[in-house]
């Protein structure tokens, strides 16, 4: 009785196991060492055009149609098995010819010797990872676009890893730390490229921003690679996220032309204000200089008209004449 119950339970477990394998979303199959099929679940049969009535013992993994790449794929899968552990991992691109929407399969392989009484049986569990590959391709594509944009922006961009000694994670070609080679910077720090004093000052700024979380903004005068004076608008800020180490972002704009224009305008303004003051002083001075002889001319001309003495009129006439000559000289000047 107990034996019968035990056999029933074992049969139930086997039936449930076979049902689970057959309805799994993975491709599950097994072959002998020569490729002869031993087992194929429903998903594998679907992908390879097999029905439940097909006799697997008459089929070989290397000859399944309509997929001529099967032999190549199977040899690759077997080559990935570690002889020491009997396990392997495989990744197949374009695994099903004629179905371009299936981009890749990924899975595990195992070797066991119990199924056929000591003969090696190779089991493979593969699943469609097309969606993941498609997403990775999209991310890669957007990253390539972003890299091109970042590289060609007229702005210097530097990213450092705060928790890993402020090592460079990214630099674009417009970064204005002229002494730091673009391709050699990633994974290194300012101390690898600058004097101790300069690197210490940069580190002090980085630590201040990382500790306070407050942005820094300033304008500095520096020299470019040819020794020419340039003016840079610099900003440093910390990027915080629970999912990754804090990042320090430095952004630098070359504002040399703008700064030169500002300074030129400031000089022109100062010159205009000076000219205006000189003009005002000149007009005030000329007003005084002109008014003096003009008053003499008006006043003594009136006295000439009112005087009855010939001598007085002659004296007044000479004063008017002298004042007129003085006035004419001022106007000529």
Report which DSSP code applies to 165.
T
3-state secondary structure at position 321: helix
Report which DSSP code applies to 35.
-
Structure tokens at 197: 């004093």
Q: What is the pLDDT of residue 325?
A: 81
Q: Cβ distance 30 to 122 under 8 Å?
A: yes
Helix (H) or strand (E) holding 202: helix 196-212
Query: pTM, whole model, 2 decimals?
Result: 0.53
Measured distance CA(38)–CA(29) in Å, rounded: 7
Beta strands, E only, 98-184: 104-116, 119-128, 155-161, 167-171
Q: How far is CA 122 from CA 33, 36, 43, 66, 208, in A?
A: 7, 10, 18, 22, 60
Beta strands, E only, 52-139: 81-82, 87-93, 104-116, 119-128
- Give the residues of the chain that fall short of pLDDT 70: 1-15, 17, 65-68, 173-183, 225
Q: What is the pLDDT of residue 59?
A: 92
Q: What is the pLDDT of residue 17?
A: 66
Q: What is the pLDDT of residue 37?
A: 92
Q: What is the pLDDT of residue 123?
A: 92
Laid out side by side, the sheet with 167-171 consists of 167-171, 155-161, 244-254, 229-241, 216-223
Q: Sign of torsion, CA 45 51 52 57?
A: negative
Q: Cβ distance 255 to 231 under 8 Å?
A: yes
Q: What is the pLDDT of residue 5?
A: 47
């Amino acid at each position: 009785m107990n034996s019968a119950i035990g056999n029933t339970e074992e049969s139930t477990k086997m039936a449930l196991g076979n049902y689970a394998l057959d309805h799994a979303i993975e491709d599950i199959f097994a072959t002998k060492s020569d490729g002869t099929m031993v087992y194929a679940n429903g998903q594998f049969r679907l992908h390879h055009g097999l029905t439940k009535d097909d006799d697997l013992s008459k089929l070989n993994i290397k000859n399944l149609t309509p997929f001529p790449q099967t032999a190549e794929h199977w040899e690759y899968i077997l080559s990935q098995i570690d002889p020491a552990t009997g396990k392997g991992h495989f990744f197949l691109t374009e695994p099903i010819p004629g179905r371009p929407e299936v981009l890749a399969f990924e899975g595990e392989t195992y070797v066991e010797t119990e199924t056929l009484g000591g003969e090696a049986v190779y089991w493979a569990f593969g699943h469609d990872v097309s969606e993941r590959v498609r997403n990775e391709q999209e991310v890669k594509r957007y990253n390539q676009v972003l890299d091109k944009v970042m590289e060609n922006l007229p702005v210097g961009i530097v990213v450092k890893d705060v928790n890993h000694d402020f090592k460079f994670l990214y630099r674009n070609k417009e970064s204005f730390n002229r002494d730091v080679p673009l391709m050699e910077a990633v994974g290194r720090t300012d101390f690898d490229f600058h004097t101790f004093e300069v690197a210490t000052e940069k580190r002090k700024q980085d630590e201040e921003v990382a500790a306070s979380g407050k942005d820094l903004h300033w304008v500095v005068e520096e020299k470019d690679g040819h020794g020419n004076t340039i003016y840079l608008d610099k900003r440093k800020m910390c990027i915080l996220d629970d999912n990754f180490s804090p990042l320090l972002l430095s952004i630098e704009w070359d504002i040399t032309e703008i700064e030169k224009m500002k300074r030129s305008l400031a000089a022109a303004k100062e010159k205009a204000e000076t000219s205006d003051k000189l003009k005002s002083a000149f007009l005030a001075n000329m007003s005084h200089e002109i008014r003096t002889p003009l008053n003499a001319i008006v006043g003594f001309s009136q006295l000439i008209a009112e005087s009855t003495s010939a001598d007085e009129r002659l004296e007044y006439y000479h004063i008017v004449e002298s004042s007129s000559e003085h006035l004419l000289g001022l106007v000529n000047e």
